[in-house]
Structure 1
Amino acid sequence: MPPTAPTPRHTLHTLYSEHHSWLQGWLRKKLSCSQQAADLAQDTFLRLLISGRLPEPERSRAYLTQIAKGLLVDQYRRRQLEQAYLEALARVPECHAPSPETRALVIETLVCIDAHLGRLPQIVRETFLLSQFDGLKYSEIAERLGIATATVRKYMLKASLACYAALEESPASGTPAR
């Protein structure tokens, strides 16, 4: 009787057994924190489990490293957003400060908006940021970017729709991500 191909669960188990310690050590060197390294190593394997895609055995470490690097970038971006939000909150009188639960929901929503905006072309994001954070008028944005004012309107619509989609998916809306 010919041997049967390993089941995906068995392959994931093997991958975990053979590479988890190595990955955690690699992350520990990057993060200088064993707890964060342990969490990110687990998150890496969770991503594999959820995706259902497993690498060829000879590409296991490269594949795991690629996923872990993506998680590191996500963590870094999240921390930047969280830090900016907390700095803004520090300027709010304590009596008007949101509850810890509200803070957590706002941070999750900001991360979701950032992810949606990150999927847009660079010029669309730049248009949106110039409008929303620099307070430029559409005509000023058009002049700065060398595009038509009508194009600025079109880009703002795309960015606004991305933000709306993010709000629909955010934890605060109660609607799960698709």
Structure 2
Amino acid sequence: MKIAVYCGSRIGNDPVYADGTRALGKQFAEAGIDVVFGGGHVGLMGVVADAVLEHGGRVYGVIPEALRDRELAHDRLTELHVVSDMHQRKARMAELADGFLALPGGIGTLEELFEAWTWGQLGFHHKPCGIYNLAGFYDPLLAQADTMSRAGFLNREYIDMIVQADTPEAVIEAFRNYVPPHEKWT
């Protein structure tokens, strides 16, 4: 299994984010799960890639030329795919991955999560999509999803389709046992 990991290009202010990301990378490698990610050596992206590689796993990066040219590319990956722009990056990552997981991050992480989540809701893919909710990082986002549901804009089944886990073991188990929801508009 290959899981696309969306996460910050920074490590955050609390060591729990880097520590939890490192633990996830170790567990992925030990479970034989490969990582597909944005190809950078910085922030949580670098932390997860390094952890997987240090424990014998495989890591596939996808980075736009402009970011590679700024010397942000990780130089020890199993494979590095260089693409022309962010749209191609996301498409290539989706193509390579069997599932999608958001770790703590900023607006780019949210954008990637929302796109994968929307594609799953629409039936463009049937892959698991989840949140590694370290230290409750995504609790406000999940509360907003509940608000959307109560207001009639989001069916509960599309909230429930998001794997929500706060340990590496729970992430792995949920991804292995994932059952996609019914496609919207069928």
* Structure with the larger RCO, 1 or 2 (CA within 8 Å, 6+ apart): 2
| Higher percent of residues as strand | 2
Please identify which structure carries the higher helix content. Answer: 1
Q: Please tell me whether Structure 1 or Structure 2 has the larger radius of gyration of its CA atoms.
A: 1
TM-score by structure 1 length?
0.24
